[in-house]
Amino acid sequence: MPPADWEPVIGLEVHAQLLTRSKIFCGCSTAFGAPANTQVCPVCLGLPGALPALNRGAVTMAIRAGKAFGCKIAERSIFARKNYFYPDLPKGYQISQFELPICDGGAIPVPQADGSIRKVGLTRIHLEEDAGKNVHAQNGSHVDLNRSGVPLIEIVGNPELRSAEDASEYLKALRLALIYLGVNDGNMEEGSFRCDANVSVRKRGATSLGTRVELKNINSFRFVRQAIEFEIERQVALLESGGKVSQETRLFDHEKGETRPMRSKEEANDYRYFPEPDLPPLVVSREWLDSVQTPKLPHQQMAELSAAGVSTADARTITADPRLVDLHGRIAAAAGKEGARRAAHVVVGEIARAVNEGALDLGAPKFRPEQIAEVFRLQDEGTLSSTAAREVISEVIQTGRAPAQVVAEKGLSQVSDEGALESVVLAVLEKNPAEVERYKGGKKNLLGFFVGQAMKELKGKGNPGVLNALFKKRLE
Ligand code: ADP
Ligand code: MG
Ligand code: ZN
């Protein structure tokens, strides 16, 4: 922890790969994991004379994110050439947006521990193309250009974050929101969601910002926290000992848990941005803008679940994955009364467990939500005890088999028929005259004892509710 008189200031730049099937300026596939250089064409190889043509699907996704985060969507935005030399950049420049990005302002809603929502401001969101990848192997270094031209949005956050923890919460909220919006898969390991962290410190109370360092190469939430924490301490120690922070780019070395210099301000690239002559200005019409739908964001789903009576803990688990939200909604709708709460128990219980055990693929569930509602009904009418109901649900989730069939096969149905239970009740009372006397004398909690005896007779298959009622009737 830095001494209390220093305040850390952090701003994140996130690169998120858009989930289009083809690249941003050509028709090549964006699928991950294909053999190197098999998803390329003259455009994304940067061959002379090849002309880019903008993928409107990528623009629609950028608009969707911008709308969801309350950005101002530019009616007219401009693509520019960002010039630099690197082997993975065959054209010698990256097409990006510079002066006039597609989205301006806006904020990311970040849920806080106390349940409130903090809004962290955005500077901008712009569209750009990804570069290729350098692959270092034993026999030398190679360049794979499959990723060259894959569409990205860069989400630039304001320097409003004040701790490593803040930054990681922001990043988690942003990642989940993009997944909900269907514009990004959130995969940090494959690099489809990447983050650079800008870190500075200043004396508490100061109004101007300190000199910042940009941290690169942080590809997990844990590393984000570690890199920022290390950097805060490094800067504070430097300043306390009379030194100065120099503006530079540093790499995070996750094996050593430290950041080290990559390039200084003097060595910084001069990108010589200029408008891309091969692309016209991007014009977003009113109709286009209005036609882009934004689904609910995680914090809105959270609020809805809470309002429907789902506990905060359950709602957290469910909203962590939009597929769980969807399943929950469909089970709740099929179940009717009390459906939201009951469905939540199933989702965080049997469904979450089956997913963890690899017995349920949320991408292709084998069961129908109506089958879960059917189990609820069997429980309500007394055919299933709550324990048996859970067992049936587990089986249905994993196999998609009909609940009635599972109940019959496993012999799980319980005896609810009053006539059948009546004789057991009478036998229990006859066998326990002393307890009957004590009950009548006021020891009402003996009811549990009688029900327990009856259950023993019935090998656990009696309906406890019906038994309770029958004993009461006989004893009073
Ligand atoms: P670039 O990194 O391309 O030069 P900017 O100068 O706009 O772009 O800065 C980008 C990021 O740096 C933003 O996320 C912003 O919040 C953050 N940032 C800017 N100044 C500071 C600072 N003094 N301390 C921490 N973060 C900062
Ligand atoms: Mg930057
Ligand atoms: Zn191509």
Residues 152 and 286 in one domain: yes
pLDDT at position 98 is 96
Residues 109 and 238 in one domain: yes
Residues 267 and 172 in one domain: yes
Instruction: Let me know if residue 402 belongs to a domain.
Output: yes
Distance separating alpha carbons of residues 465 and 463, to the nearest angstrom: 6
Residues 172 and 53 in one domain: yes
Other C-beta atoms closer than 10 Å to the C-beta of 119 total 13
Closest ligand (CA of 123): 1
Q: Give percent of the chain with pLDDT exceeding 70.
A: 99
Instruction: Let me know if residue 87 belongs to a domain.
Output: yes
Which CATH number characterizes residue 461's domain? 1.10.10.410
Mutation test of ligand 1: which of 6, 10, 13 has the most ligand atoms closer than 8 Å to its C-beta?
Answer: 13
Q: How far is the CA of 42 from the centre of ligand 3 (A)?
A: 6
Token pair, residue 269, equals 């690239």
Of 291, 307, 330, at which residue does a domain stop? 291
Q: What average pLDDT does range 289-294 have in this prediction? A: 98
Other C-beta atoms closer than 10 Å to the C-beta of 330 total 17
- Please identify, by atom number, the ligand 1 atom nearest to the C-alpha of residue 13: 14
Ligand 1 pocket, CB under 6 A: 9-13, 156-159, 198-200, 209-210, 212, 214
Q: What average pLDDT does range 185-192 have in this prediction? A: 93
Instruction: Let me know if residue 112 belongs to a domain.
Output: yes
User: Please, what sign has the CA dihedral across residues 382, 387, 390, 396?
Assistant: negative
Of 291, 314, 334, at which residue does a domain stop? 291
Residues 176 and 232 in one domain: yes
Q: How far is the CA of 353 from the centre of ligand 1 (A)?
A: 42
Q: Give percent of the chain with pLDDT exceeding 90.
A: 87
Of 291, 323, 353, at which residue does a domain stop? 291
Q: What average pLDDT does range 123-137 have in this prediction? A: 96
Query: Between 403-410 and 369-380, two packed helices, what is the crossing angle to 10 degrees?
Result: 50
What is the DSSP code (8-state) at residue 453? H
Instruction: Let me know if residue 1 belongs to a domain.
Output: no
Residue 383 has pLDDT above 90, yes or no: no
Instruction: Let me know if residue 452 belongs to a domain.
Output: yes
Residues 95 and 128 sit within 8 Å (Cβ to Cβ): yes
Residues 304 and 171 in one domain: no
Domain that holds residue 404: 298-410
Residue 356 has pLDDT above 70, yes or no: yes
Q: What average pLDDT does range 406-423 have in this prediction? A: 86
Instruction: Let me know if residue 54 belongs to a domain.
Output: yes
pLDDT at position 2 is 62
Residues 138 and 48 in one domain: yes
Distance separating alpha carbons of residues 160 and 301, to the nearest angstrom: 25
Instruction: Let me know if residue 352 belongs to a domain.
Output: yes
Mutation test of ligand 1: which of 156, 163, 207 has the most ligand atoms closer than 8 Å to its C-beta?
Answer: 156
1 band by pLDDT with thresholds 50, 70 and 90: low
Residues 96 and 117 in one domain: yes
- Please identify, by atom number, the ligand 1 atom nearest to the C-alpha of residue 160: 16
Residues 390 and 423 sit within 8 Å (Cβ to Cβ): no
Residue 255: which residues within 8 A CB-CB, separation 6 or more? Answer: none
Question: Considering only CA atoms, which of 94, 88, 84 is closest in space to residue 24?
Answer: 94
- Please identify, by atom number, the ligand 1 atom nearest to the C-alpha of residue 200: 24
Q: Is 208 left (phi over 0), alpha (psi -120 to 50) or beta?
A: beta
Distance separating alpha carbons of residues 305 and 238, to the nearest angstrom: 48
Q: What average pLDDT does range 336-354 have in this prediction? A: 95
Residue 420 has pLDDT above 90, yes or no: no
Residues 398 and 423 in one domain: no
pLDDT at position 130 is 98
Q: How far is the CA of 270 from the centre of ligand 2 (A)?
A: 13
The total of structural domains in the chain comes to 3
The overall longest dimension of the chain from CA atoms, in Å, is: 101
Closest ligand (CA of 212): 1
Write the single-letter amino acid at 445. N
The model's pTM = 0.88
278 band by pLDDT with thresholds 50, 70 and 90: very high
Q: What average pLDDT does range 364-374 have in this prediction? A: 96
Token pair, residue 379, equals 């429980």
For 61-115, what is each residue's pLDDT tens digit?
999 999 999 999 999 999 999 999 999 999 999 999 999 999 999 999 999 988 8
- Residue bearing the CA closest to ligand 1, atom 13: 11
Residue 476 has pLDDT above 90, yes or no: no
Residues 392 and 438 in one domain: no
- Residue bearing the CA closest to ligand 1, atom 17: 11
Q: How far is the CA of 77 from the centre of ligand 3 (A)?
A: 23
Closest ligand (CA of 157): 1
Residues 106 and 69 sit within 8 Å (Cβ to Cβ): yes
Alpha helices in 33-153 (DSSP H): 42-45, 56-68
Residues 274 and 227 in one domain: yes
Q: What average pLDDT does range 154-179 have in this prediction? A: 97
- Please identify, by atom number, the ligand 1 atom nearest to the C-alpha of residue 209: 23
Instruction: Let me know if residue 245 belongs to a domain.
Output: yes
- Please identify, by atom number, the ligand 1 atom nearest to the C-alpha of residue 211: 23
In three-state secondary structure terms, 141 is strand
pLDDT at position 391 is 95
Q: What average pLDDT does range 236-253 have in this prediction? A: 95
Closest ligand (CA of 23): 3
- Computed over every residue of the chain, the mean pLDDT equals 95
Closest ligand (CA of 26): 3
Q: How far is the CA of 233 from the centre of ligand 1 (A)?
A: 19
Residues 363 and 453 in one domain: no
